[in-house]
Structure 1
Amino acid sequence: MANYFFTGFPGFIANNLIRQLIEDQQPESIFVLVLPEMMDRAEEEINNIIDEKQISPNLIHVVPGDITKPNLDMDITYQELFINNIHYVFHLAAIYALAVPKSIAFNVNVRGTQQVNEWVKTLNHLKRYVYFSTAYVSGKRTGKILETELDCRQEFKNHYEQTKFEAEVLVDQLKVNIPTTIIRPGVVCGHSKTGETIKFDGPYFMLNLMDALKTFPIPYIGKSDAYGNFVPVDYIFESTIYLAHATKGEGKTYHLADPNPYRMREVYSMLMQEFLGKMPKWTTPLTLARLSLSLSVTRKWLRVEKESLDYSRLLAEHDCSQAVQDLKGSGISCPDFKEVVPAIVQFYREHKNHPQYQIKID
């Protein structure tokens, strides 16, 4: 029996990792750090978990705090309790947005992670510190990218990537003295069975575009041999909980990516065939698409971020050999994206007009 601490609650990933944790382990207590303005929503989500999992109301505890402040801005009584009673820390709080301004991204992703790192160092009985990064700390690198690689003097496509890289560098330095596991997911998409997701980004930008243009002949966007790196959320949840508790996971970084990815044009075709029952017939130059999405009115109509185009032509392959090897024998493997497409499209079709899923496009 162990005690767990999560940042990033009530966010979608932290929320579902806790559900997976309850299924796979027997946690004694779970503590979730929550911003004061998110307390009501956090309590609501906890009640949902209690009802769904039929667990004791005393299993999950809300802790008011802020990762960007010293000691995470927690009350002194919590700090004293946690020093000798927290065994696993999952740090998920971050700004996950391609168009985020630099100052906001740095404050949360870098300064926040630095504060969490300093707090983790005070824990006397820590068994594992799990940090949620992203495969895209590789920035503009191309070719095969290994899980063991981090700082290769790469440049970045946006402030999200750069600040997540800077944060991971800080966490990576802890591996010498702190039992640490770093998780780098690819582009997280819907649940492989239900299609459920938290927001329509990544492959959903393609569906947004197709939905807006469905009465027109829809083109491919540019010519590229780039691979898509789309990973169902349930694979992320199951793998993370398993690797966080596996002895072999200590001190390692994992790409939770598709070991057999499809090219972006194939992904685009699969989504269009499933959603609209037709295939692209022509190709528009990427430069023209970028020019069009430079206009706010076009971005809002198509519900597509201009920054997403950078990923459609990135000739990078995120090698996940270490993750695949260490997951052997667990029964956990990444589903074939082709098999996930129907669930993703169905969920999108049912929720495409719900504002809570659509990202605000400026």
Structure 2
Amino acid sequence: MSIYMFTGFPGYLATHLIQEISNQKHPIERLYLLHHSSVKKTAEADLRRLIEEGKVNAHDIQLIEGDITLPHMGLVSSVSASLLNEVTHFFHLAALYDLAAPLLPSWKINVDGTRNVLDWLQASTTLQHFIYFSSAFVSGKREGNIYEHELTHNAGFKNHYEYTKYEAERLVQQQLSSLPATVIRPGIVVGHSQTGETMKFDGPYFILNLLHQLKHLPLLPSFGNGKAYINIVPQDYVTSAVTSLAHQPQSIGKTYHLTDPNPHTASDIYRLFTKHYLGRAPNFTLPMPIAKTALSFKTTRRLTGIQKQALAYFTCESRYHQDHALADLREAQITCPNLTSYLPKLIDYYRAHRKNEEKHLALL
């Protein structure tokens, strides 16, 4: 029987990964969810909802209050000692996922938090597998082919999120000789490929926010040359892949790009969005510098939700290879679906929940 522990609950990926693992055939004795005191009420409400909807078993799951930015993850000593002698699988997902976040809070959560988790796990007597959620974008401003075994570079970074996730992954890589670790590098995670369901409209959904504002214009613009590949993956691919890899002994010591093996360019994605959301195609192209200038105005950012830092992903020409992922997920028949097959589901879900997004944007 396995005993699991997660950081990052009640975050989007952690929530769905917990559901995925609970619904698999792997025997679960206990599942501990570490949450920060600031999200206690949300964590309790979300767990209650998961139990009521039958997505997890109430007898198998328990909330634990802690803080990864503190030594021993802020756990009471007796609780810490008990967990260190119980937990077999540890999933570290907690991070500050914000492209516009300043360096210091990003470093405190992403780097110092990961260091504290690693230090705590060194005292474990039962750990069988540590799953660390990094990001494909630790590659920063590197262009061309990016391979799973690569990490160290001096190309620079597009934002503090990338930089701090890079430094955090370096800490994990340094511990591979003493911890049974697997590193997961997802691309840009969107909603479920079958239902379109998501917890937040960010990343590519900013395009839909923009199109919603432009829908009454007689002419529809596109932006820049759009040659860069945008690596989008659905949530269910990531969670099913991680669940499989977490129970494969051969995944220990490896790094996996959970990215799209057949990504689309920024231009193609924009045209797909305009076709499915507006039933139209762009009529002309605006240079990217004009788009960046427009986003310097707070009103534009508020109406679209787009962060200036996001535009760099439309011009950085990187190709992420998935040799490890393709090989080790083949037997489980887990593959990343093509964006064209599930984009209508994403848009339908967005359209149905657009009013909630408008309320969110109004608060920015």
TM-score (norm 1): 0.97
The equivalent of 1:18 in structure 2 is 18
**1:356–1:233: structure 2 CA closer, same or farther, 3 Å change rule?**
farther
The equivalent of 1:9 in structure 2 is 9
Distance 1:68 1:29 in 2: 24
Distance 1:272 1:226 in 2: 18
Deviations 1:130-176 (A, max 9, x none): 00010000000000000000012220010010000000000111111
Q: CA deviation at 1:189?
A: 0.8
Distance 2:337 2:150 in 1: 25
Distance 1:359 1:152 in 2: 36
SS at 1:176's partner residue? coil
The equivalent of 1:214 in structure 2 is 215
Sequence identity, in percent? 39
Question: What is the root-mean-square deviation of aligned Cα atoms in Å?
Answer: 1.5
Q: Which amino acid aligns with 2:340?
A: K
Q: CA deviation at 1:62?
A: 0.9
SS at 1:28's partner residue? strand
SS at 1:4's partner residue? strand
Distance 1:139 1:189 in 2: 20
2:227 equivalent to 1:225: yes
The equivalent of 2:320 in structure 1 is 318
Q: CA deviation at 1:359?
A: 6.4
Q: Aligned residue pairs: how many?
A: 362
Unaligned 5+ runs, structure 1: none
Distance 1:8 1:303 in 2: 23
**1:356–1:48: structure 2 CA closer, same or farther, 3 Å change rule?**
farther
Alignment of 1:63-74 (within 5 A): 63-74=64-75
The equivalent of 2:50 in structure 1 is 49
**1:4–1:110: structure 2 CA closer, same or farther, 3 Å change rule?**
same
Q: Which amino acid aligns with 2:91?
A: F
Q: CA deviation at 1:53?
A: 3.0
**1:292–1:54: structure 2 CA closer, same or farther, 3 Å change rule?**
closer
Q: Which amino acid aligns with 1:49?
A: L
The equivalent of 1:172 in structure 2 is 173
The equivalent of 2:113 in structure 1 is 112
Alignment of 1:215-254 (within 5 A): 215-216=216-217, 217-254=219-256
**1:72–1:45: structure 2 CA closer, same or farther, 3 Å change rule?**
same
Distance 2:124 2:44 in 1: 26
Alignment of 1:340-355 (within 5 A): 340-355=342-357
Distance 1:360 1:166 in 2: 34
Distance 2:55 2:271 in 1: 42
Q: Which amino acid aligns with 1:33?
A: L
Alignment of 1:141-290 (within 5 A): 141-216=142-217, 217-290=219-292
Unaligned 5+ runs, structure 2: none
Q: CA deviation at 1:54?
A: 6.2
Distance 2:57 2:9 in 1: 19
The equivalent of 2:340 in structure 1 is 338
Asked whether the 8 Å contact 1:305–1:361 carries over to 2, the reply is no
Deviations 1:315-335 (A, max 9, x none): 000111210111011021101
**1:63–1:117: structure 2 CA closer, same or farther, 3 Å change rule?**
same
**1:69–1:18: structure 2 CA closer, same or farther, 3 Å change rule?**
same
Q: Which amino acid aligns with 1:271?
A: F
Distance 1:339 1:97 in 2: 28
The equivalent of 2:97 in structure 1 is 96
Larger displacement relative to structure 2 (56-65 or 9-18): 56-65
**1:357–1:79: structure 2 CA closer, same or farther, 3 Å change rule?**
farther
Q: CA deviation at 1:124?
A: 0.9
Deviations 1:267-313 (A, max 9, x none): 11111100000111110000111011111122112322111110011
Distance 2:252 2:296 in 1: 44
Q: Which amino acid aligns with 1:47?
A: R
Distance 1:41 1:300 in 2: 25
* Structure 1 runs (4+) greater than 6 angstroms displaced: none
Deviations 1:1-21 (A, max 9, x none): 110110001111111110001
Q: CA deviation at 1:355?
A: 4.3
Q: CA deviation at 1:46?
A: 1.5
The equivalent of 1:295 in structure 2 is 297
Deviations 1:234-289 (A, max 9, x none): 00000011111111111000000000111111111111100000111110000111
Distance 1:296 1:338 in 2: 33
Distance 2:60 2:78 in 1: 18
Larger displacement relative to structure 2 (7-16 or 44-53): 44-53
Asked whether the 8 Å contact 1:299–1:361 carries over to 2, the reply is no
Asked whether the 8 Å contact 1:2–1:87 carries over to 2, the reply is yes
Q: Which amino acid aligns with 2:308?
A: K
